[in-house]
Amino acid sequence: MNKVTIVGSLNVDTTLRIKRMPLPGETLAAEGKSSAAGGKGANQAVSAARSGAQTAFIGEVGKDNSGQMMLSEMKANGIDVAGIRENDQVGTGTASILLDENGQNSILIYGGANQQLSPADVEAAQDKITTADFVVAQFETPQAATLRAFQLAKENGVATILNPAPAQKIDPEVLKLTDLIIPNETESAELTGVIITDETSMLISAAKFAQMGVRNLIITVGAKGAFYCTQDGYNFIPAFKVNAVDTTAAGDTFIGALSSQLKPDMSNIEKALVYAQRASSLAVQKMGALPSIPTKEQILAAGQN
């Protein structure tokens, strides 16, 4: 069983279901509304936990009803919440999601307490890092907190995974401490300047990331699949073909599931990637973020069909 610590965001998601995305200045009626626990960090943690990883979380919520909801959701999924601080000055993060009838979404995020996560908060929960197999981070919390988490991880021989989303300029020191980076095709292009079109462009991207200090790469390419490149080789793994109804947590489900199965030396990356692809394919067939994330049993059963 892998031990996975997530340093990341906790949001309450509000989803509005619409026929299509509105044009600038246009008003559309929503056909449905729902709220659920979410945030990239929370999604990845729940995915890891449901796939059997011993999961801990380092993050921040407001001292409000939304914060209590997030803590309850994490606990209900067996996640260690001792590293989540309650902030009595700033509210819990929120996400507003527009979801069209084709399952595509647009998301607006209010960071709230997520943006208050500091290196000191990370240090206060460093035992969650030093005892882990993997530390996973995204960019819905400050990079300074990620940097401190990765420093502590590397000082203790713990592997690090960076999901550079939302895409932004990355502190070079964070990249130097990253063992595996997992962008989607758009994020990869923004970080390297190389537009993903084929295997050649993916290999060029891998070389660019290696120059930045990251030697292991997975680029997710939506419904097409995922490309990986490590020091031992590379390959493109096609996605499983399904009818998507909501892609909101697809990438987060992939990363959490992957972290639960991957060996820290990356030696089983292809097998772990196939498992993560299957988890993601199940998630997009259901509505919502956390509610759509499958369990290990569901993922393995799908593989037998």
Distance CA 174, CA 176 (A): 5
> What residue numbers does the annotated binding site cover?
11-13, 39-43, 140, 184, 220-225, 246, 248, 251-252, 283, 286, 288, 292
- Cβ(113)–Cβ(90) below 8 Å: yes
- The values of phi and psi at residue 73, to 5°, are -65, -45
Distance CA 298, CA 278 (A): 10
Determine the residue type at 293. I
Q: Please give the model's pTM, rounded to 2 decimal places.
A: 0.92
The CATH number of the domain holding residue 57 is: 3.40.1190.20
SS3 category, 2: coil
Asked if the structure places residue 25 within a domain, the reply is: no
Whether residue 121 contacts residue 145, with contact meaning beta carbons closer than 8 Å, is answered with: yes
Q: How many CA atoms lie within 13 A of 284 on its CB side?
A: 23
Query: Which residue positions in the chain have pLDDT lower than 70?
Result: 305
How many C-beta atoms lie closer than 10 Å to residue 263's C-beta?
Answer: 14
Domain count across the chain: 1
For residue 258, is it within any domain? yes
Q: Which of helix, strand or coil describes residue 155?
A: helix
Instruction: Establish if 201 belongs to a structural domain.
Output: yes
Q: Report the alpha-carbon distance of residue 53 to residue 77 in Å, rounded.
A: 11
Residue 26 lies in a domain: no
Residue spans of alpha helices (H) in the chain? 40-50, 65-76, 119-124, 127-130, 143-155, 172-176, 185-192, 199-212, 250-261, 269-283, 296-304
pLDDT digits (tens, 9 = 90+) for 151-189: 999 999 999 999 999 889 999 999 999 999 999 999 999
| Alpha-carbon distances, residue 129 vs 34, 57, 208 (angstroms) | 34, 10, 28
Phi, psi of 267 (to 5 degrees): -65, -20
Give catalytic residue positions.
Answer: 252
In-domain check, residue 288: yes
Model pLDDT for residues 64-105, shown as the tens digit of each residue: 999 999 999 999 999 999 999 999 999 999 988 898 988 888
Coil, strand or helix: which one is 156?
A: coil
Phi and psi angles of residue 186, each rounded to the nearest 5 degrees, phi first: -70, -45
Instruction: Name the residue among 157, 137, 34, 160 with its Cα closest to residue 83.
Output: 137
Q: What is the pLDDT of residue 302?
A: 87
- Binding site for substrate, by residue number, is 11-13, 39-43, 140, 252
The pLDDT value recorded for residue 129 is 98
Residue numbers belonging to the annotated binding site for K(+): 246, 248, 283, 286, 288, 292
Helix axes 296-304, 269-283, angle to 10 degrees: 100
Determine the Cα–Cα distance for residues 48 and 161; give it in Å rounded to an integer: 13
Instruction: Say which residue the tokens 């060996």 belong to.
Output: 263
Binding residues for ATP: 184, 220-225, 251-252
Domain ranges, residue 125 = 3-20+31-304
The token pair that represents 290 in the structure block:
């956390």
Confidence at residue 305, expressed as pLDDT on a 0 to 100 scale: 61
